[in-house]
Amino acid sequence: MEYFKETLKFKNGRYYVKWPWKENTPELSDNRELALGRLKSCVARMRKKPDLLTKYDTIIQDQIQKGIVEEVNEFRTDGRKHYIPHHAVITPQKSTTKVRIVYDASAKNNKEMPSLNECLYRGPRLLNNLCGIFMRFRLHKIAMVADIEKAFLQVGLQEDDRDVTTIHVAERLC
């Protein structure tokens, strides 16, 4: 928590954090080919349904426009480098978000090397027990529910930790 407080920055109306790296973490593997292979597989599956591919591309372009992800033309030569594979979760029965992008920081290049998630301190569980939530929900006559869309995407990652969250994006997917 102290590390978080010391490194938290607020700039241009947005909070920027650093990764909570575990001490003595082994080096992340070069998983560029894994991430590229997953992208090719994802695009190949969606080519059969062009409307899904268009939606996936729209989401990526929207995230670039909003500054959630950024285009990288050249990498730093020092520090950690790692790619995060991504894929589509498609739920056609939903009325709002039929296509959602999932970034897989648990992906491993091989069994011996850690994933990005395994290199980071997890932190305490902050969500209450689901059973307790349901019971308290029924205690009162009025209940309020909220869906905070893309909430975790509103926190930025400081520049010196960004090279471990690189994603591949095909030049305009559709």
| One-letter-per-residue 3-state SS of 118-160 | HHECCCCCCCCCHHHHHHHHCCCCCCCCCCCCCHHHHCEECHH
pLDDT beneath 70: ranges in the chain? 73-78, 97, 149-150, 152-153, 170-174
On whether residue 78 sits in a domain, the answer given is yes
Q: Within a domain: residue 20?
A: yes
> Which pLDDT value is given to residue 50?
87
**Would 139 be classed as within a structural domain?**
no
Please state the length of the chain.
174
pLDDT at 64: 87
Please give the Cα distance from 9 to 18 (Å, whole number): 9
pTM: 0.75
| Residue 170 domain-assigned (yes or no) | no
Nearest CA to 82 out of 37, 111, 113, 116 is that of 116
Q: Is residue 14 a part of any domain in this protein?
A: yes
For residue 106, give both structure tokens.
């648990």
- Report the first-to-last Cα separation within the chain, whole angstroms: 43
Task: Indicate whether 131 belongs to any domain.
Answer: no
**Whole domain around residue 60: which residue ranges?**
2-125+153-164
Structural domain count of the chain: 1
Q: For residue 99, what pLDDT is reported?
A: 86
Q: Residue 146 domain-assigned? A: no
